[in-house]
Structures are given as C-alpha cells and as structure tokens.
Structure 1
Amino acid sequence: MSDTSWLSKFPQLERGDLIAIRKTLDGAYREFSRNYGDTIESLFDPLLTFLIWFEKLLIASPWWLTIGVILAIVYGASRSWKLCTGVLASLLAIGVLGMWDDTMRTLSIITVCTLLSIGIGIPTGILMSRSNKVQAIVTPILDVMQTMPAFVYLIPVVMLLGIGKIPGVIAVIIYAVPPVIRLTNLGIRLVNKETLEAATAFGATAKQRLFGIQLPLAMPTIMAGINQTIMMALAMVVVASMIGVKGLGQPVLKSITNQYFTLGLFNGLAIVALAIIFDRVSQTYAKRTQKHLGGMNND
C-alpha cells in the first residue's frame, strides 16, 4: 500500500481548477492595484519626502559634522570613549575607501525603518502584553512575517507601489519589526507581579503602572528587541537594493552580477561596520539601563 494512498480519501482539485483559482486571484490583485495603487502610494508621499530630505541632508552635510553628530549620539548612549574611537575609525575607513555617500543612504533608510519599526512594534507589544486574545491573533502573523521569504512579499508590494524607496521601507519593516514586538510583549509580561500589586495598592493607575514601572523594568528586554530589529533591517539592505533602494546594497548586487569581488567585499564590510556600530551602541545602552534599574532596586 502506498504511503500517499490516504490522500485519495480527500477530494482533490484538478489542475485546471488550480490554474483557474490562481488566475482569478492574480486578476483580482492586478485590478486592485490599478484602481487603488495611486491612492495608496499618495498616502506615503510625506514619508517619501522625509526620506529624500534626510538622505540629502546626510550626504550634503560636511563629513566632519556628520561624524561629530554620530559620535555625540554614540557617547550619549554608551558613555564609552573606546566605542567612540572604534566608530570614528570605522567611519573614516568608509570615507577613505569611497563609500561615504552609499553609507549615508543606507544609514538614512535604516534609521527611518528602525524608528518606524519601534513606533509600530512597541505599541503592538504593549497591546499583546495586556490581552491574551490579541497575543493569540498577532503571534501567527509575526510567525508568517519572520518565516516568509523576503522575495515573496516583495512581489505584491512592488506590484502595488512599483520600485523605489517606499516599497523598500515596507519590505524592511515587514522583515524587521517582529523582534521588537515579541520582546516588548515578553519584557512587560516578565515584570514582577508583586511590584505591580504594590503600585496598585499605592493608588497607581494603569497608565502610571505602564509608563512608570512596566516599561522601565522591561527596557533591557525591549532594547534587545530593538537591537535585533536593527540587525534584521541591515540584513535586508541587499534585498531592498533589488527594488531600487540606493545604498551599500546596490554595489553588492552589482558585484554579484559582474563578479567584482573587491567591490562586493568592501561594501559588505561597510554593512558589517554599520551593524557592529548599531549593535554595540544599543547593547551598551541596554546594559547601562539595566545597571541603573538594578541600583534603584537595591536602594
């Protein structure tokens, strides 16, 4: 008896039926994109305008000023001169090797995608932490977002919005936002219930408990989620370059198609440098936050 004989007990669609279903769905989506694509695209015009302005600002600003601002942010987050020295060396190497403009383009889109992911992810994680029903609904969606190959969800985005920065931002956010949602939910749920009960006993409202206790105590876990989101966003740089997003990904893609080993290596190392900078800064900030909270708890 064949191992697949049990399948015969279920009704099966004929090949022609499957083709008909696919054609119907494809036609419906094409019709939707024709009728509503321009309207949906216009909703993203403010974001596109900001992206273009921010990219031009980073590229047009003097390199020393840009590096100075980045170092100030790094030191403010980490309080580490060693990390600042490493960041300075990395940025100077990127400039000397002629990758400054592409790095600024990548930095602009990654910064915007990270901020949008945080803006979407933390409120969603808060909702999940407050309701098991919301968690049960959102979790499978996050599973699909994390396991679906990026090239698959690029197809409907490109069909609807064409190629350019906005489809790239949407693709990056879909791929990168799940960690911050999951870890925000987890961090809030792990807050000591006795601490919350004590706050309630002192008359704290739900809003006061959230912003005064839960979010501060969950911040190290949330920062770990933000860190993962940044890493996943950077991992999408090369994929996003396939739909017209300029930056370090395009030279890497060009090196693949034309077998330019050195070009791909240098731009790949620049992406790695950005990833390490973001990783070290966010991790150091999370550790500082954790130590601060630990000191408060000891008091």
Structure 2
Amino acid sequence: MDWFFKFPHMDDTALRGLKKATDEGFRGFTRNYGDIIEGLFTPLAHFLIAAERFMLKTPWPVITLLILVIAWAATRSVRITLGCLATLLMIGYFDMWDDTMRTISMIFVCTVLSIAIGIPIGILMSRSDRVQRVINPILDVMQTMPSFVYLIPVVMLLGIGKVPGLIAVVIYAIPPMIRLTDLGIRLVDNDVLEAADAFGADRKQKLFKVQLPLALPTIMAGINQTIMMALAMVVIASMIGVQGLGQPVLKAIANQYFTLGIFNGLAIVGIAIMFDRISQAYGKRLQRHREIAHG
C-alpha cells in the first residue's frame, strides 16, 4: 500500500534544473535591467525623502499642532484630538520622536501611493466582471503570501534601502484599497444611477459626481485598512534598511533589550490607534452625510 500514500512529484534532477534556470534567469534580468528599474523609482525616492525631511526638520510643536488640526477637522471629536495629543507627547517624552516621524512619513507616502494606484484599479474592477475575475486571484495571493517573500525580488532588483522597503509595504498594504473601492462603487444603488442617466449624465460624470462620492465611506474604510497593514509591515521593512520605529524593535529582538522593544512597539500601537480612530471617525461622518443626503 506504500504506492497509495506516496505523492507523485517531479523528478529531482528536473526540479533542480528548473530552480537553477529560474534563479539564473532572474539574476540575469537583475543584472541587465536593475539599474533601469531603479531609475524609474527615483521620483518615488525623492518624494519619500522630502516627506521625511519635512517631518524631521519641522519643529515638534508645529507637527503636533498640524496633526491635531487634521484630527479635529476629520473627527470633530475632542476625545480623539486629546488622545492624539497625549500619544504624541508620550512619544516625545520617551525620546522616540525622530523614529516616529520617519515611520509616519513612510506610512503617508505608502498611503498616497496606494490610493493613487488602488482607486483606478478598483474603478476598473467595478466596471468589468471579467477584470474583477482576473484581479481578485492576484489580490488573494498578495494578501496571503508571507510578507518576507515580498522582500526577495524587491531586494534583488533594487538592493537595500528606503525605496525597496516602500515598495514591499505598498504591495502588502494595497489590496484592501482596491477591493473596497470596487465594493463601494458596486454598492451604489441602481436607482441613483438610473436617475443620473435620466438627467443625461455620461459615464465620466456618473463616476465622479455620483459613484465615487457615494462610495467614499467604503473607500475610507479601504484607506483605514491600508494604513493598518502598512504599519504592520514597519518592523519587517526595517530588515532591508527602512528607518523608523521598526529598527529599534529589530535591535531589541537581536540584543534582548526588553524596554527598547516594548516602548517602540507601544509607539507603533499608539500611532496605529491614532490613525485608525481618525480615519474611522471621518468615514462615519461621511456615512452620516450620505444618509442625510438620501434621507
């Protein structure tokens, strides 16, 4: 009965040959086109460096006030605004300000990039069931693939540094943005679309004046999830040179520095809660405005 339990597999020699050919092919591609691909991401590197420089060079009271203004404008909640203030003051008190600003600048750039790429793809998916059937399996792979695996091709192509880490974080964090944009547009009531047709709106007008405004609360939920997933990648991205709160955590793991790891871990949790509460509260406000408009 041994033959019944033995799983059929490729011949060892053929498997080794396939692996070797694939590895050599990728190395050859990296040698020939690595510099060209790296050049394509130069504007992204400049954007990230500019965001980081702004967060680090601007005096901390100005940054704190800016974040509090954003929190109040988005939430209209005194409790959330005071919670953001307390979080930022604690981060500064425990001397984690610079690393936190680097992490926030990375999350900001990742979020902007995810929105710029994710919303158009989500719109495309919402307009075509065929496109949705093609892209959904890709998103499934992106969401279930172990995050360390993203680092292998990115590092081989672009080396160690901020941009490879940024790309890996975006790949990990963008699927919710795409899925929820697609979902939000598909959930728009057909009666509303028929009314838009009756008023003579074309496809572009329906998209920008009807579908996207009504889908905005769902899209905000996608932005919220993208931010949370980007923060979850902070420590892993620090392994390939991304500066921020992840590097002290990595150092704490390697050297068994308990307090260093705990404090920086709590700082990551603090800014995650801060971003989560702000984006969720803003999404709920949009939802209320939508209900009032329909009510």
TM-score (norm 2): 0.97
Structure 1 residue 3, shift from structure 2 partner: 7.5
1:127 and 1:169 map into 2 onto residues whose CA distance is 24
- Partners in 1 of 2:133 and 2:240 — Cα distance? 33
Residues 199-210 of structure 1: pairs in structure 2 closer than 5 A: 199-210=196-207
Whether 1:102 and 2:99 are equivalent positions in the alignment is yes
Task: Provide the residue aligned with 1:187 in structure 2.
Answer: 184
Note if contact 2:118-2:178 (Cα within 8 Å) is conserved in structure 1. Answer: yes
Match of 2:235 in 1: 238
1:170 equivalent to 2:183? Answer: no
Cα offsets for 1:31-88 (capped at 9, x unmatched): 1001110111011111112211221221111100110111111111111122111101
Percent identity reads 63
Q: 1:130 is matched with which residue: 127, 130, 136? A: 127
> Structure 1 residues 160, 189: closer, same or farther in 2, change over 3 A?
same
Alignment pair present for 1:81 and 2:59:
no
Give 1:172 shift.
0.3
Distance 2:86 2:252 in 1: 25
Q: 1:263: which partner in 2?
A: 260
Per-residue deviation at 1:230?
0.5
Shift of 1:198: 1.4
Q: Is the 8 A contact 2:235 2:247 kept in 1?
A: yes
CA distance in 1, matches of 2:173, 2:73: 25
For residues 53 and 247 of structure 1, what CA distance do their matches in structure 2 show?
Answer: 15
SS in 2 for 1:242: helix
How far apart are residue 13 of structure 1 and its match? 2.4
Q: In the alignment, residue 29 of structure 2 is paired with which amino acid?
A: F
Indicate the SS of the match to 1:95: helix
Q: Kindly report which structure 2 residues correspond to 1:1-299, keeping only aligned pairs within 5 A, or say none.
A: 1-2=1-2, 4=4, 7=7, 12-298=9-295
Whether the aligned pair in 1 keeps the contact of 2:185 and 2:212 (CA below 8 Å) is yes
CA distance in 2, matches of 1:3, 1:277: 58
Q: How many aligned residue pairs are there?
A: 295
Q: Deviations over 1:163-201 (max 9, x none)?
A: 101110110011000001001111111111111111101
Q: Distance in 1 between matches of 2:209 and 2:277?
A: 27
Matched to 2:285, the amino acid is R
Seen in structure 2, the aligned counterparts of structure 1 residues 210 and 261 have a Cα distance that, compared at 3 Å, is same
Over 3 Å counting, the alpha-carbon distance change for 1:25 and 1:212 in structure 2 is: same
Alpha-carbon distance in structure 2 between the residues aligned to 1:13 and 1:213: 54
1:211 Cα deviation from its structure 2 partner: 1.2
Indicate the larger mover: 50-59 or 249-258: 50-59
> How has the CA–CA distance of structure 1 residues 17 and 57 changed in structure 2, closer, same or farther, with 3 Å as cutoff?
same
One-letter identity of the residue aligned with 2:159: G
3-state SS of paired residue (1:246): coil
Q: Which runs of 5+ in 2 are unaligned?
A: none
How far apart are the structure 1 equivalents of 2:4 and 2:158? 43
Letter paired with 1:30: R
Q: Give the distance between the partners of 1:147 and 1:190, measured in 2 at CA.
A: 26
- Structure-2 separation of matches of 1:29 and 1:61: 43
* RMSD, aligned α-carbons: 1.2
Preserved contact between residue 236 and residue 246 of structure 2 (Cα < 8 Å): yes
- Give the secondary-structure state (helix, strand or coil) at the position aligned to 2:160: coil
The one-letter code of the counterpart of 1:252 is V
Distance (Å, rounded) in 1 between the aligned partners of 2:126 and 2:291: 23
Listed one character per residue, the Cα deviations across residues 76-116 of structure 1 (whole Å, up to 9, x for unaligned) are 11111221111011000000000000000000001000110
- The runs of 5 or more residues in structure 1 that have no matched partner are none
